[in-house]
């Protein structure tokens, strides 16, 4: 695109400057958007328009770019994502740039995604929406309905009730949780998705680098926490009592919803939590953890084929 400065430079080097100017003026004033501006401001004298042909030229070219723009990424304007607007101030023609709809939408999407924090969760999960979920069996229909109800009605701090999605490996439990997180972002509710086995390992390493308390507090206090694949971790008394127990106790007291995915049902998870590598079988401690999970999370079973292999 030729700039107005380049155009006027050519005019200066020409013997027919006036002719070039008149042709440029005619071209600019015939533009439909410039015409709309002139029609809306009939009090502007022609001399003011003449003085601002360069400004009108800039507006015409940038506005033309906007009319054929396909995406924010391909925007050719000087200020990517901004649309020009002509206005009158003190009887003088002025131009300003406003954020275009594509940039507004992109900025809103970025803001919403900033509300979703994740630890060790695949990117495709973070992009999940309810519209994309297959409803190919009754259990999935029920699970999706429960997920939609939670995502559209929960109020962290007022109700601590969550969901416990369980079923075989690969039936889509985590993907449903991703859809919940995105719906909550629409409501400006911050969510953290955590792949539990890796997070527990991360916390263990945090003892040595000094980040343990910071990471633990982050998970304890986030408005909505999703613990993915609970039960896949190697259980120890420390993980169960000093990590999981501490997280769930705080969230219970603050009425912050916690959601879970697991291959285990409640009874199987209780058995898993009872066994630790060094402590043997500790059923009482396992029951304490399960009491917090059972009371504050509704179990929802999902059946079906392994979707990851499809």
pLDDT tens per residue, range 247-256: 999 999 999 9
User: Has residue 107 got a pLDDT over 70?
Assistant: yes
Q: Which domain holds residue 123?
A: 115-309
pTM for the whole thing?
0.68
Quick check: helix, strand or coil at residue 49?
helix
Query: pLDDT for 76-101, tens place per residue?
Result: 888 899 999 999 998 899 999 999 98
Answer yes or no: do 237 and 141 share one domain.
yes
User: Has residue 115 got a pLDDT over 70?
Assistant: no
Answer yes or no: do 179 and 132 share one domain.
yes
Q: Which of 48, 78, 103 is the last residue of a domain?
A: 103
Answer yes or no: do 65 and 190 share one domain.
no
Query: pLDDT for 253-284, tens place per residue?
Result: 999 999 999 999 999 999 999 987 666 788 99
Quick check: helix, strand or coil at residue 304?
coil
72-78 long-range contacts, CB within 8 A, separation 24+: 72/100, 72/102, 72/103, 72/106, 75/100, 75/102, 76/1
List, in sequence order, every residue forming a beta bridge with 281; answer none if it has no partner. Answer: 275
Answer yes or no: do 134 and 28 share one domain.
no
Answer yes or no: do 96 and 123 share one domain.
no
Q: How far apart are CA 97 and CA 174, in angstroms?
A: 42
Answer yes or no: do 295 and 183 share one domain.
yes
User: Has residue 179 got a pLDDT over 90?
Assistant: yes
User: Has residue 125 got a pLDDT over 60?
Assistant: yes
DSSP letter (8 states) at residue 177 = H
Q: Which of 103, 125, 156 is the last residue of a domain?
A: 103
Answer yes or no: do 195 and 93 share one domain.
no
**How many domains would you assign to the chain?**
2
Answer yes or no: do 81 and 124 share one domain.
no
CA distances 134 to 28, 151, 200, Å, are 53, 18, 31
Answer yes or no: do 298 and 154 share one domain.
yes
Q: Which of 54, 81, 103 is the last residue of a domain?
A: 103
Answer yes or no: do 206 and 298 share one domain.
yes
Query: What pLDDT is attached to residue 279?
Result: 62
Answer yes or no: do 41 and 91 share one domain.
yes
């Amino acid at each position: 695109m030729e700039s107005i400065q380049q155009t006027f430079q050519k005019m200066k080097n020409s013997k027919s400057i006036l002719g070039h100017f008149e042709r440029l003026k005619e071209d600019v004033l015939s533009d439909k958007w410039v015409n709309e501006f002139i029609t809306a401001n009939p009090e502007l004298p022609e001399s003011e328009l003449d003085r601002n042909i360069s400004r009108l030229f800039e507006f015409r070219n940038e506005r033309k770019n906007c009319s054929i723009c396909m995406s924010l990424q391909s925007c050719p304007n000087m200020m990517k994502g901004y649309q020009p607007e002509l206005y009158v101030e003190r009887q003088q023609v002025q131009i300003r740039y406003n954020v275009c709809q594509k940039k507004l939408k992109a900025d809103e999407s970025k803001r919403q995604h900033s509300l979703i924090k994740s630890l060790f969760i695949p990117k495709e999960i973070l992009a999940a929406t309810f519209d994309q979920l297959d409803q190919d069996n009754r259990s999935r229909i029920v699970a999706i309905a429960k997920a939609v109800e939670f995502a559209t009605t929960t109020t962290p701090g007022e109700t601590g009730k969550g969901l416990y999605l369980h079923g075989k490996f690969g039936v889509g439990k985590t993907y449903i949780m991703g859809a919940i997180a995105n719906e909550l972002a629409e409501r400006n509710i911050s969510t953290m998705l955590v792949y539990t086995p890796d997070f527990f390992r991360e916390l263990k390493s945090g003892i040595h680098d000094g980040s343990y308390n910071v990471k633990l507090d982050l998970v304890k206090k986030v408005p909505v926490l999703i613990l993915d694949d609970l039960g896949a971790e190697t259980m120890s008394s420390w993980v169960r009592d000093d990590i999981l127990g501490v997280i769930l106790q705080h969230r219970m007291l603050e009425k912050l919803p916690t959601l879970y995915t697991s291959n285990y049902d409640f009874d199987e998870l209780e058995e898993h939590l009872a066994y630790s590598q060094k402590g043997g079988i500790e059923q009482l401690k396992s029951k304490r953890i399960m009491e917090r999970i059972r009371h504050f999370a509704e179990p929802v079973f999902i059946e079906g084929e392994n979707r990851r292999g499809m």
